[in-house]
Structure formats: structure tokens, C-alpha cells
Structure 1
Amino acid sequence: MLILLILLLILFFTLITPLSHADTTCTIGGVAYDYLTLEPLPDTIIEINTTPPQTYVSKDGNYRLNVPEGSYHLTAKHYENNLLEYYTEENITVAGGGDYTLDLIMLPAIEDEFLFDEPDLSDFDDVLIEDESQENQIWLMVPAVIAFIVIITITGWYLLFARSKKIEEGTTEAMIKSEEGDLRPLPDDLLEIVEILKKHDGRMTQKELRKLLPHSESKISLMITDLENRGIVTRVKRGRGNVILLESSQ
């Protein structure tokens, strides 16, 4: 009888142990919105790094995922003509079961604006090994380098002075008013960006702006930086891209 009772207890604890250690299931759901219209964005692909990873294709912008307790990273993508047009990513931690709401704002998928990668200095190890004669030759080049720098500096100051004089005469550049009411010179290419922003309610992404300008990506980035320094526009980081905002004083 005692043996039978022991066997029954072992069977009882065997059955309830999996239930007591079962993972609590949580639900993550929400809507993927277009950043500009704030309308649900259809055909959005949502991925979450569960084990194994889950992928959810939302036809109407709504999504719902069942996950165990833990911390997760979500990414959402929207393609048009096989090209990535919108992208966003979010982190979330869930615990204790229940439903969690996580709405996603889909931003334009703009390429990274770093035009050049940082060089790998290990590639230059052989170049740094030089004998004493080569070092002497380098020291002999120092006066020539200094002279070259002086010439470039003088030339730069001369061109800057000539440009300032030309601006004062008002022959090649437009004029706009700053917040204090004084006049500042604005080159034609920068004025073109300002006019485009005005036509788009003072707000558009850098990717959209690049499509309307006949310039390279690097030049447009430098032009926007120039406008930022003048206090005319503000560049706001959004996801992997930038949104350009025209200051209200313009």
C-alpha cells in the first residue's frame, strides 16, 4: 500500500511540473502607420527575433504576434516594385502575460549618408616601415609643403574676399530676411531648396528632395548643412534617414 501511494505521488508531481514551469504567453499587436498620412500601411512585413524568429505579413497594416516573456526587437519593412521604401524598428519587453500594444511609424528607407568608409590602418603597415634615408627625404619636403599651404591659404582668403565683394554688389545672389530683419545673401542653388520646401509645406525627407534636384547626393547633403548653419532649415534624424524642416521665419 505504501509503495502504491509513493507511485501515485510521483505520477502527480510529474504531471503538474510542466504546468508550473510553462512559459507565460504574451501578445504583441498594433498598426503600422505611414509617417506622412498616419494611415495604416498595407503589405507591411513584420519580423521579431523570437526563437525561432517569426515573420508576419500584414495586408492592412494590422499585426498580432504571440510570444513568450522576454525582450524583443521588431523590424517592419514595406516594399514597392521590389525596392525597400519604408522601414522602422522597435524594442519591447513583455512579462506576466496579457496584451501589449506597439504601433509602428513607417519612415522612408533612406540610405546612410556616409560617403566613405573609415580606412583600415592595418593596410598601411608596410608603408610605415621606412629606412632612415626615406625619413630624411620626407623632412626635406616639409618646406615645400609649408609653402604650398601658405599659397593655398592666401588664395582662399583672396577668393573669399572677392566673393564677399560680389555679394555686396548684389550681382549674382538673391537676398532673404533673417529673424532679426537684416538681409543675408543666399546662393541660387540654396534658394532653390528653400523654394521646394515652401511648395511642400516646409517639410519633406532628404530622399524626396534629392529626387527633385539635379545634383549628386554628396552635394545636396553639403547644401543642406549650409542651410542649417544659416538657421534656415533643420535636419531631423528619423530612423535611417532625415526629414528636412523649413524654419517658420522663412
Structure 2
Amino acid sequence: MEPGFDICWVDLPKKALVDAQISAEYVAQAVLSLAKRSTTGKVSIIGHSQGAGFNPQWALTFFPSIRSYVAAYVALAPDFHGTLDSTFCKFLPTSICPQSIWQQAAGSHYIRAQNIDGYRALVPTTVIYTSTDEVVTPEVGLTYSSRLDGATIIGVQDLDICGPAKMLGHASMLIDPAPFALAYNALINGGNAIRSDFALTSCVSYPVPPSVDFGATVNLIESAYKDLASGFFPAETVSSAEPPLRKYVCDRYPDQGFSCA
């Protein structure tokens, strides 16, 4: 594929189950570190789920100095406005929900804080989402979770993309050819995908080098879902309530009624 990109990834602490503010701080540091090693002095960010809607956007919001080092931001199935699925934490036994799951509940303190200034694209941003997402909900209607003002927003089921018959779940966004093609187009167009470039053939296939092993990705996803389904989470990741916000949040927004530590 031309042009190509050097790829790095950030291993977030405890698989991003701990306080999402910590994960976001890892992202901010990674941007600064990797930009220094980039031939352009900038990096592009691609994230999925919490790694799209929470960690990068929080980093860009509360650490604005990194924005000049980000050439593009591609968010796959992001939950910028949380998910109704995370409200189940309120009905589970005490201390069984991971901290970041509490934070992803629609209306959480984390989401409120992020969306005061981070409700909009802070760098060139493309959002790619699926209306049949079973994890990030809702993804239909005017208040769909992946909305972000000023971003290029593309639904896989949009009429000019793959259409409403395309069934695509949350995890499948990582391995389906349609979001792959849209994300690549965003990267080569300064962070904003061009809808008219999309080929309908990408709804079913996309030419990739033989070295790309989508099967390995499938295995990783299956492993992650088995961990979630088992209900086992490391003790240091769970809590009985949403973690307090960082002090820098209250310093920036002293009149919002946030509780910080």
C-alpha cells in the first residue's frame, strides 16, 4: 500500500480497565515521545471504542500542547458521549465493575468534563461508526454516542457507503474492510476522509499485503471478549463508583461542581 505508515501502539495499563484519565495521560505522553521520532514531527492516532472516544480526546482536551503534534485522528466506534450499556454497573454487586466502565456510562463526570471543551474536533478528525453497534449505544438518532462537532463523520451504514443492510458489530470494526478503507483514506487526506473516494467493493473486501493477518486480530478480539464474559477483572481495576476526576479538571472548571482528587 502506498503511501505506507510506520505503526506503533500504546499498551495501556491493565488493558485500559483502570481510571481512563490514566490511560489518556499515557496517550498524551506517547504523542510527545513518538512525534520526536517521526520524520514529519507529527503522528496520526487511530483508536477504537474507549481508545477512540475517551483516551485520545481527553488527552487532546486537557493537554492541548500535544495538538500541534497530531496530524490526524481516526476514531473507530468511539463513545464520545458514553454508552447506555455501562449503566449496568449500578445494578451489580459492590466493587465488581472496572473503573473505566463506570466512566463510560452516559452522563458520567468524566464525560461531562471531557465534553465541556472536547465536544468538538480538536485536530483533523474522522469518526467511523456502525449503527448496529451492540456495545456503544445508542448509535442511532440525533443523540448517537459517536457524534463530534466539526469532525468528518461516516456511518458504515450510510446510503453512500455500505447501506443499511450492512451488519457490523463493535469488535468487527477492527477487522472489516469498510472501516479499514475509510480509515486509510482519512490518513492520506490529512485526517478527513473523503466520502466520494469510497469504493463499494470495500464493503466486502480490501486489497492488503499478504503480511497483514486479520486472523490474528480476530483471535485477540475473541480472547478479550472471553475475559469480559468471564466477569474476571484484576482487583486493582474495579471500584464501587466512578473514580474522582483529576485536580487539573477542577482547576480548569471550578464552577462545574466536580469532585476532584
| TM-score, structure 2 as length reference | 0.18
Larger relative CO (CA 8 A, sep 6+): 1 or 2? 2
TM-score, normalised relative to structure 1: 0.18
Q: In terms of Rg, which structure is larger?
A: 1
Considering fraction of residues, name the structure with more strand.
1
